[in-house]
Amino acid sequence: MPNEKFDKEAFLEITKVADKSKLAYVLSFGSTEKPKEQHAHMYVDFRGKDNVRLRITYHNFGGDEEDTSAPYMEDCAQWLSGFIKEEEISAEINAGYDFDESFSLVIALPFPLLTAKEDLAGSQVTGIRIQLPRRMNIKTAILQRGKDETSLYLDTKIKLKLKEFDLDRSYAVD
């Protein structure tokens, strides 16, 4: 997002950053609903010449974050929206799903990589990238088979009103 659309001074003041000369910041947020089971990280990066880069990642595994004051994981996106001078922003959503070994694939993964290159001999293909029909508005779909689970990764871009973001809600893609 363009630098002028983000209130950097207010962000630095509210977060009580001691070293205001740093160009990138990482904040952690614990969950009020599932403490020690879920958490979020927020990356605010001012290294770009003309843009600030923002990223929030939510995790469904344990973390040491045990917040005693707001904002929490569940509302950190709305909190971040307080520094953004636009109602709606372009956002990229990345989602990952893990299925246990009972999930069966149509394609048997892994399978051997057949190649004449000696340095690739013995390689296994453990995943595939799927180009979905344009109407689905999914930029990338990757299916990966691990030892005990299968993972599905999806990427898409949407317009998002960050003030109204709800982690438990489904978002239609553009």
Cα 105 to Cα 81: distance, rounded to the nearest angstrom? 40
- The pLDDT score that the predictor gives to residue 88 is 93
Q: How many CB atoms lie within 10 A of CB 74?
A: 20
SS3 163: helix
Q: What is the mean pLDDT of residues 105-117?
A: 84
Q: What mean pLDDT is predicted for residues 115-137?
A: 87
Mean pLDDT, all residues of the chain: 86
pLDDT in tens, 25-60: 999 998 988 888 889 999 999 988 889 999 999 888
Sketch the domain layout of the chain as residue ranges: 1-86, 91-164
As a whole number of Å, the end-to-end CA separation of the chain is 19
Residue 64 is predicted with a pLDDT of: 65
> 8 φ, ψ to 5°?
-65, -45
Confidence class for position 97, pLDDT limits 50, 70, 90: confident
Please state the three-class secondary structure of 69-92 as a single string. CCCCHHHHHHHHHCCECCCCEEEE
User: Using an 8 Å Cβ cutoff, are 90 and 48 in contact?
Assistant: no
Nearest to 40 by CA among 165, 170, 132: 165
The answer to whether residues 140 and 125 touch, using CB atoms and an 8 Å cutoff, is no
Residue-level pLDDT at 34? 87
Predicted TM-score of the model (pTM): 0.75
Which pLDDT belongs to residue 80? Answer: 95
- Could you tell me if 155 and 138 are in contact, meaning their C-beta atoms sit under 8 angstroms apart? yes
